[in-house]
C-alpha cells in the first residue's frame, strides 16, 4: 500500500513525541543521578563530621583519663603522706592517752591463708592488746563495714594474736560526720585530721568493741 502524506506526517509526529519522551526520561535519569550524588556527598559529609566528633570525643576522654590518673596519683601521694607524717607517729601516743598500753606498730601487713586474705594498714600492739587501723583519704560507710569484716577474721588468719584483745580504728583525711557516728556506733575508734595533726574523735565515755 502506498503511504499517504498524512501517514508520513503522523509517523514523524510520533517519532518526535518519542524523541521528546526519551529526552525527558534522560533528563529525569540525569536529575536522579545528580540527586543521588548530592545525597551521597551529604552522607559523606555527615560521616566525616561524625568521625571528627568521635576523634574529638576520644581525645577529650584520653585527656580526662590522664587528668584523672594524675589526680589519683596525687591523692595516693597525699594519702601516703597522711599515713607517713600524721597517722603513724600519732597512733601509739593517742591510744596510750586512752589508757591502752600499746608500744609498737607495724604497717602494710598482708596475710594469705588458702583462699582468704587480709591486709592491714596499721597494726598497733602490745602483749595483750592490738588495734587494727584502716586509713582512707575519704572515709565511707562501706569502708567501715569492710574493716569490721577484717576484724572478724583477724585472729583466724593471724593466730599468733589469738589471745590478744583486738580493737578497731578507722582514720581519714576527710571523715563525714555521719560516717564518724556510724563507726562510733559500731565500736570503732575514729581518727581524723585536725590541722597538722591527727586526733581521736571518740568522747571519753566511748567503749570500744573487742574481738
Q: Kindly report the number of other CB atoms within 10 A of residue 198's CB atom.
A: 24
How many whole angstroms separate alpha carbon 145 and alpha carbon 200?
A: 19
**What's the pLDDT tens digit per position in 24-38?**
888 888 888 888 888
Q: Residue 171: what are its φ and ψ, rounded to 5°?
A: -135, 150
Please give the C-alpha separations between residue 2 and each of 5, 7, 8, 13, 211, in angstroms, as whole numbers. 10, 10, 11, 19, 126
**What's the pLDDT tens digit per position in 39-59?**
888 888 888 888 888 788 777
Rounded to two decimals, the pTM is 0.62
What is the reported pLDDT for 67?
A: 58
**What's the pLDDT tens digit per position in 122-153?**
999 998 999 999 999 889 999 999 999 999 99
Predicted confidence (pLDDT) at residue 70 exceeds the cutoff of 80: no
- Residue 205's domain comprises 1-211
Number of independent structural domains in the chain? 1
Amino acid at each position: 500500500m502506498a503511504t499517504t502524506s498524512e501517514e508520513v506526517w503522523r509517523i514523524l509526529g510520533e517519532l518526535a513525541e518519542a524523541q521528546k519522551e526519551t529526552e525527558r526520561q534522560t533528563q529525569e535519569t540525569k536529575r536522579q543521578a545528580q540527586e543521588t550524588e548530592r545525597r551521597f556527598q551529604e552522607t559523606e559529609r555527615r560521616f566525616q563530621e561524625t568521625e571528627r566528633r568521635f576523634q574529638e570525643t576520644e581525645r577529650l576522654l584520653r585527656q580526662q583519663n590522664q587528668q584523672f590518673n594524675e589526680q589519683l596519683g596525687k591523692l595516693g601521694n597525699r594519702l601516703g603522706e597522711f599515713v607517713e607524717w600524721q597517722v603513724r607517729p600519732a597512733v601509739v601516743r593517742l591510744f596510750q592517752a586512752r589508757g591502752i598500753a600499746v608500744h609498737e606498730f607495724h604497717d602494710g601487713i598482708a596475710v594469705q591463708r588458702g583462699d582468704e586474705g587480709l591486709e592491714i594498714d596499721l597494726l598497733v600492739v602490745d602483749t595483750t592488746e592490738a588495734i587494727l587501723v584502716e586509713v582512707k583519704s575519704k572515709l565511707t560507710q562501706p569502708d567501715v563495714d569492710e574493716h569490721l569484716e577484717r576484724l572478724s577474721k583477724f585472729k583466724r588468719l593471724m593466730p599468733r594474736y589469738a589471745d590478744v584483745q583486738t580493737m578497731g580504728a578507722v582514720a581519714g583525711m576527710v571523715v563525714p560526720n555521719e560516717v564518724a557516728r556510724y563507726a562510733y556506733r559500731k565500736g570503732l575508734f575514729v581518727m581524723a585530721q585536725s590541722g597538722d595533726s591527727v586526733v581521736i574523735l571518740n568522747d571519753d565515755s566511748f567503749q570500744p568493741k573487742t574481738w
